[in-house]
Amino acid sequence: MARARISDVAAAAGVSTATVSLVLNDRTARITDATRDRVRRAAEEVGYTPNSVARGLRTQRSHTVGLISDRIATTPFAGRMLAGAQDVAREHGILVFLVDTDADETVEREAIRALAAQQVDAMIYACMWHRVVDAPSSLPRGTVFLDCRPADGGFPAVVPDDRAGGVAAVRALVAAGHRRIAYVDVDEPHPPVASDLRHEGYLQVLAEAGIDPDPALHVRCDTSSAGGREATDRLLDLPEDHRPTALFCFNDRIAAGAYVAAHRRGLAVPQDLSIVGYDDQQLVAADLDPPLTTVALPHYEMGRWAMEVALGIRTPDDPDAPHLMPCPIVDRDSVGPPPATAASDSRRRT
Amino acid sequence: MARARISDVAAAAGVSTATVSLVLNDRTARITDATRDRVRRAAEEVGYTPNSVARGLRTQRSHTVGLISDRIATTPFAGRMLAGAQDVAREHGILVFLVDTDADETVEREAIRALAAQQVDAMIYACMWHRVVDAPSSLPRGTVFLDCRPADGGFPAVVPDDRAGGVAAVRALVAAGHRRIAYVDVDEPHPPVASDLRHEGYLQVLAEAGIDPDPALHVRCDTSSAGGREATDRLLDLPEDHRPTALFCFNDRIAAGAYVAAHRRGLAVPQDLSIVGYDDQQLVAADLDPPLTTVALPHYEMGRWAMEVALGIRTPDDPDAPHLMPCPIVDRDSVGPPPATAASDSRRRT
DNA sequence: AGCCGCTGCTAAATCGATTAAACAACTGCG
DNA sequence: CGCAGTTGTTTAATCGATTTAGCAGCGGCT
């Protein structure tokens, strides 16, 4: 039992295929209501669903979008971007091709070619983390960059507002009374966009609060639990009057390592050490003990934004600058006032 | 500058479109090498890429596959299934439509319709966890079930061999000398396929080892760190001669909770308590201290299997039973011999 | 010369839709 | 009655490929 074609509907309704097409697509053509009914009933009866391939060939719109990513789909991390993009796509009857290239340029080129051959209506180029990328030359113009910025501009892009995120995180710590706040940064393995922006936010808040940044409180480590633990150990080994009372960690995994380091010394979070993470990773942030205060990456919203721009539903405010998506802070239980000794000390220094 | 069509190539080479098609598809037709060269050069020159939509219409093969999932793409969990499926697809020049339905039946039905309309060559129906599902009636026959079993059979399916995984986990504990081994099971919110199978494996190993299963050592809890911690507390509150020396946890999150419970009582892992998890979740298992011995879910391999069957590259051994994919144990540092007192006790009981 | 068979290539049908143009039937009007 | 204008529907071209059947040209054979 092959799928019903438009000609089957036409035969069943006793009209031409043109009429069927006109009726089913609600074209404002001069067709009597009686005929319209007959066609619709016939379509129902034979179980007709238009063949999108044939329609796409004729109309030159495939109602598909290609989403190319380095490895979003296979990372625990950024799947919410896909969800956002998909939700918008679904709302508009669009199907999404997903290609994970594993950051392999050959695969990437081939994927772009294959997607173009499939006549996708738009493409989205997505990254696992916020970074700067060289746009592959074969990318069609109008391709939307998701969670990355094209090195030379020329494409709409959406990225998290990491600077504002850093501001929010450090402000929370300052508001709790901390003065000696460390930034446990990542050991830049990549163009360190996110890292730098969060650092800028950190510095901005210190400046606002009249706190001199202490270079010793900016440490770097591997982006892992072990790295965070080791870096935190270094910080906690500092002489007492330089020791931080709060940590702003580049991400939640590093923060998890900070917890381990603190616990090993018998320090309680947040009584003895306040910690703020970044990313709001499920399975990390909320499962820590106590639950981690962190900054959420707006993956879902970025995914939506990218798809909306790709489909032409919205246009970027400034076509030449990436759209900055706010990163909301999520308050949990890892931030408290600094310990009494440190608090008095900080007061002394003010 | 529109894309080059086959007629552009034909014009450039001074031949008909038929000849171009014949040459570029390597049809064994009677065409001189000189002409072949001319066509290929012309194609190169105008930058010709065949329009897959037009080709798909004519050949009735779209070189696309639809992958419907409840929420694979947006879960940190099972992205490796996608990677496996995609790798196979890419190796065969197939593009993958991904649709996350969020387990909404309306969305699901609509997705199946849209994919059928796009003339996908095959469909894969995937779940986030191993469970039994009612196959939507509109699924085309031959649809491959990935990480789930259709309630009434009739479709090829691949699932993890949870029974064998349970066997492997518990055998590791028995081999280390444990006799009082608890199974920290999940509180069945769903058809508990995985849970039951792992339990069967657990019981089988106990039987092999001549250990009487103690019902008090089979506890259930919420599938979360908090749940695991609470359940472990219950177990550790047992009188000493009933207290388990080892835990087989339904998953890594529960195991993470078990760590917390143990640490809170000053018990060291594995010296005082051995723990085995399940799932080998990145960001959980390896980041625990000490790293967790666990059983890996073969997501990547299952994804490959499903796509291979979908593309007809391989056929299931037994078309009526789900294919069982082995779950390898990954040995890390959370299993050791039972503490001396317990060990002597267990010897007494043998 | 006439016919056969082979080689190299092309004409044209086809896939299943959309849509502009054409057409038949009817109405209204002078 | 004859012509123009409407209305309701159909005809046919089109999208860009694949593929079958067939045509033209040539060499060999009788």
Within a domain: residue A56?
no
pLDDT score for A344: 47
Domain identity same for A202 and A243: yes
Q: Which two tokens stand for residue A281?
A: 């990773």
Looking at the structure of chain B, the number of domains it has is 3
Judge contact between A198 and A250, C-beta under 8 A. Answer: yes
Domain identity same for A203 and A339: yes
Residues 6+ positions from A212 with CB-CB distance below 8 Å: A206
Strand C contact set, beta carbon < 7 A = A 2, 5-7, 17-18, 20-22, 24-25, 27, 48, 50-51, 54-55, 57-59; B 14-19, 22, 29-32, 34-35, 54, 57-58, 60
Alpha carbons A290 and A335: distance in angstroms, whole number: 10
In chain A, which ranges are E strands?
64-69, 95-100, 122-133, 144-150, 157-160, 181-186, 218-221, 246-249, 274-276, 294-295, 323-325, 329-330
Domain identity same for A213 and A147: no
pLDDT score for B190: 63
Who among B53, B107, B115 is closest to A57 (CB)? B53
Judge contact between A159 and A133, C-beta under 8 A. Answer: no
Q: Which two tokens stand for residue A152?
A: 């030379």
- Summarised one tens digit per residue, pLDDT across range A315-344 is 999 988 999 999 999 999 999 999 987 544
Q: Find and list the nucleotides of strand D having atoms within 7 Å of a protein beta carbon.
A: 7-12, 14-21
Domain identity same for B207 and B242: yes
Domain identity same for B200 and B343: yes
Cα three-residue angle B136-B108-A126, rounded to 5 degrees = 140
CATH number assigned to the domain comprising residue B171: 3.40.50.2300
pLDDT score for B73: 73
Within a domain: residue A308?
yes
Q: Determine the distance in angstroms separating the CA of B209 from the nearest CA of chain A, rounded to an integer.
A: 35
Within a domain: residue A276?
yes
Domain identity same for B79 and B145: yes
Alpha carbons A302 and B223: distance in angstroms, whole number: 30
Q: Which residue is nearest to nucleotide C12 (CA to C1')?
A: B18
Chains A–B, number of C-beta pairs less than 8 Å apart: 139
Within a domain: residue B56?
no
pLDDT tens, residue order, chain A (350 aa): 678 999 999 999 999 999 999 999 998 778 999 999 999 999 999 999 999 999 999 999 999 999 999 987 777 677 889 999 999 999 999 999 999 999 899 999 999 999 999 999 999 999 988 999 999 999 999 999 999 999 998 999 999 999 999 999 999 999 999 999 999 999 976 667 899 999 999 999 999 999 999 999 999 999 888 999 999 999 999 999 999 999 999 999 999 999 999 988 999 999 999 999 999 987 778 878 889 999 999 999 999 999 999 999 999 999 889 999 999 999 999 999 999 875 444 444 43
Would you give the DSSP letter of residue A5?
P
Residue A282 main-chain phi, psi, to 5 deg: -60, 155
CA A189, A193, A194, A196 torsion: positive or negative? positive
| Cis peptide bond prior to B270, omega within 30° of 0 | yes
Residues 6+ positions from B18 with CB-CB distance below 8 Å: none
Within a domain: residue A59?
no
Does A119 contact B282 at a Cβ distance shorter than 8 Å? Answer: no
Domain identity same for B305 and B276: no
Q: Quick one: CA torsion of B300, B304, B310, B316, rounded to 10 degrees?
A: -100
Crossing angle for the helix pair A162-175 and A193-208, nearest 10 degrees? 40
What's the burial of B308, exposed, middle or buried (CB within 10 Å: 0-12/13-18/19+)?
buried
Tally of CB atoms within 10 A around A34: 8
Who among A80, A96, A284 is closest to B97 (CB)? A96
Q: Determine the distance in angstroms separating the CA of B338 from the nearest CA of chain A, rounded to an integer.
A: 24
pLDDT score for A188: 75
- Summarised one tens digit per residue, pLDDT across range B138-180 is 999 999 999 999 999 899 999 999 999 999 999 999 999 999 9
Domain identity same for A286 and A341: yes
Domain identity same for A212 and A286: yes
Domain identity same for B275 and B315: no
CATH number assigned to the domain comprising residue B46: 1.10.260.40
The CA distances from residue A63 to A36, A67, A346, in Å, are: 26, 13, 60
B48, B51, B52, B300, best to mutate vs chain A, most A CBs in 10 Å: B52
Confidence of residue B79 (pLDDT cuts 50, 70, 90): confident
Judge contact between A130 and A147, C-beta under 8 A. Answer: yes
CA of B345 to C1' of C27 (A): 107
Domain identity same for A189 and A231: yes
Within a domain: residue B58?
no
What is the nearest nucleotide to B2, using C1' and CA?
Answer: D16
- 3-class SS string, A53-96: HHHHHHHCCCCEEEEEECCHHHCCCCHHHHHHHHHHHHHCCCEE
Listing DSSP states for A220-246 in one string gives EE-SSHHHHHHHHHHHHTS-TTTS-SE
Q: Which two tokens stand for residue A299?
A: 């993956």
Residue written as token pair 């982006």: A223
Question: Which residues constitute the domain of residue A17?
Answer: 1-33+46-50
Query: Largest Cα–Cα distance in chain B?
Result: 93
Q: Which residues of B touch A62 (CB under 8 A)?
A: 53
Who among B57, B79, B110 is closest to A73 (CB)? B79
Q: Is the pLDDT of residue B348 over 50?
A: no
Domain identity same for B211 and B93: no
Within a domain: residue B55?
no
Q: Which residue is nearest to nucleotide D14 (CA to C1')?
A: A58
* Amino acid residing at A212: D
What's the burial of A249, exposed, middle or buried (CB within 10 Å: 0-12/13-18/19+)?
buried
Chain A residues 6 to 65 with C-beta below 7 Å from nucleic strand D: 14-19, 22, 29-32, 34-35, 54, 57-58, 60
Within a domain: residue A221?
yes
For residue A293, which of A261, A336, A257, A263 has the smallest C-alpha distance?
Answer: A336
Q: Is the pLDDT of residue B48 over 80?
A: yes
Q: Which two tokens stand for residue A252?
A: 């939640």
Does B283 contact A99 at a Cβ distance shorter than 8 Å? Answer: no
Closest residue of B to A58, CA-based? B54
CA of A31 to C1' of D6 (A): 13
